[in-house]
């Protein structure tokens, strides 16, 4: 099975090149004098990763025997960082992980960290249209151009799922690439009829009064559909079962703490991003949830085949550790 080259994720070409020679650390983690297993996680400097920082600072990971080190890398560097052994865990998303596995890259999700949820209006990824646009529903996107930051990633794939459920052939929509900061300009210049924006740009665009949300990309996803996940290499997972168990328990407790202390999570966002405290207080965040729904993982795998990212379905059940 191979990913179609036109649909490669930014990091995937590098990842495939690495896959034949690098498989991450296969040695068992040794505990330090303090009895803690020192592990490294590479994440993106985005608001959604703030709960992990809060969990570390609150001592939740140490409580579960984990001395957690956090490093911030660009999206394209995440999987190469994992496969080179520089990180033990990385922040990922299900479509990218499934596409990687289709190319025999031995990575697996150890836990989901955020899901689609049940409140599309407050989901952080929204399709935006100009004020006064004649696009009023998903069906109105037929024959229109929709801008997305990168083709065949979670944002536009999720919209394709919503289009399918609305009875709209995704191939009838023209997807073009436009960076998030330039999407408002693309709408004003009529280079795109709609854009798929994400926070904080959704809130910024709404505040400017020139665009309005049309629909959330989560509309077509099941509430438990995983949006973000933490992944590791299969060799690291196999060599460190106790560390994996302790790490998952720490993430579970961190997720519960984050849900109960949203103010602390939002206060942490400006320390790891360029957002102001005022903006961090009002942006939408994907619901934190570590539950892995097998049906939702399978839906992602089905979609990747349906839209031509993969030529045959990958085994979704083997892509994540069951709860």
Q: What is the residue-level pLDDT of the chain in tens, covering all 323 positions? A: 444 434 444 444 444 444 444 455 556 665 665 889 999 999 999 999 999 999 999 999 999 999 999 999 998 899 999 999 999 999 999 999 999 999 999 999 999 999 999 999 999 999 999 999 999 999 999 999 999 998 888 999 999 999 998 999 999 999 999 999 999 999 999 999 999 999 999 999 999 999 999 999 999 899 999 999 999 999 999 999 999 999 999 999 999 999 999 999 999 999 999 999 999 999 999 999 999 999 999 999 999 998 888 999 999 999 999 88
Query: Are 235 and 111 in a shared domain?
Result: yes
- 33 located within any domain: yes
pLDDT at 7: 45
- 323 located within any domain: no
Q: Which residues contact 13 (CB under 8 A, 6 or more apart)?
A: none
Query: Are 262 and 299 in a shared domain?
Result: yes
**Domain enclosing residue 42, as ranges:** 5-116+224-318
Which residue reads 């407050």 in tokens? Answer: 122
Cα 301 from Cα 295, distance rounded (Å): 10
Domain of 273: which CATH number? 3.40.190.10
Query: Are 137 and 50 in a shared domain?
Result: no
Query: Are 81 and 151 in a shared domain?
Result: no
Query: Are 37 and 101 in a shared domain?
Result: yes
- Pick the last residue of a domain from 193, 220, 247: 220
Contact 218/5 with Cβ under 8 angstroms?
no
174 pairs with which residues across the strands? Answer: 145
CA angle 104, 322, 122 (to 5 degrees): 95
Query: Are 156 and 110 in a shared domain?
Result: no
Where are any strands of DSSP class E within the chain?
A: 37-43, 66-72, 89-92, 107-115, 125-130, 145-148, 174-177, 194-198, 211-216, 226-233
Residues in the chain: 323
- 179 located within any domain: yes
Cα 220 from Cα 125, distance rounded (Å): 13
- Pick the last residue of a domain from 188, 220, 252: 220
Burial class (CB in 10 A: 0-12, 13-18, 19+), 290: buried
- Pick the last residue of a domain from 186, 220, 254: 220
- 42 located within any domain: yes
Phi-psi group of 221: left, alpha or beta (phi > 0 → left; psi -120 to 50 → alpha; rest → beta): beta
Residue 113 is inside which H or E element, if any? Answer: strand 107-115
Cα 115 from Cα 123, distance rounded (Å): 10
> How many domains, the chain?
2
pLDDT at 261: 98
CB 165: neighbour CB atoms within 10 A? Answer: 12
Which residue reads 């795998």 in tokens? Answer: 301
């Amino acid at each position: 099975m191979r990913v179609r080259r036109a649909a490669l994720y930014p990091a995937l070409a590098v990842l495939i090149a690495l896959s034949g020679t690098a498989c991450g650390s296969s040695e068992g983690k040794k505990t330090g004098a303090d009895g803690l297993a020192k592990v490294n996680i590479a994440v993106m400097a985005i608001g959604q990763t703030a709960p992990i920082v809060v969990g570390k600072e609150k001592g939740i990971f140490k409580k579960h025997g984990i001395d957690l080190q956090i490093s911030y890398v660009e999206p394209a560097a995440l999987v190469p960082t994992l496969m080179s052994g520089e990180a033990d865990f990385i922040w990922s998303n299900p479509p990218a992980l499934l596409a990687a596995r289709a190319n025999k890259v031995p990575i697996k999700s150890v836990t989901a960290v955020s899901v689609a949820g049940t409140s599309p209006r407050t989901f952080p990824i929204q399709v935006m249209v100009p004020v006064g646009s004649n696009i009023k529903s998903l069906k109105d996107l037929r024959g229109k151009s929709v801008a997305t930051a990168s083709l065949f990633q979670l944002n536009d794939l999720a919209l394709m799922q919503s289009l399918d459920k609305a009875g709209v052939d995704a191939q009838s929509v023209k997807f073009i690439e436009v960076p998030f900061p330039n999407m408002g300009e693309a709408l004003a210049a009529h280079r795109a009829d709609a854009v798929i924006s994400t926070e904080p740009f959704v809130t910024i665009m709404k505040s400017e009064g020139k665009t309005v949300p049309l629909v959330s990309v989560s509309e077509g996803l099941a509430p438990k559909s995983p949006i973000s996940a933490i992944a590791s290499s299969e060799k690291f997972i196999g060599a460190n079962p106790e560390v994996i168990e302790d790490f998952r328990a720490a993430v579970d407790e961190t997720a519960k703490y984050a849900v109960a202390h949203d103010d602390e999570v939002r206060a942490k966002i400006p320390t790891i991003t360029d957002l102001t405290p005022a903006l961090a207080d009002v942006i939408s965040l994907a619901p934190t949830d570590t539950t892995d729904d097998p049906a939702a993982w399978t839906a992602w795998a089905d979609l990747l085949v349906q839209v031509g990212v993969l030529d045959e379905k990958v085994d979704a059940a083997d892509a994540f550790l069951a709860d």
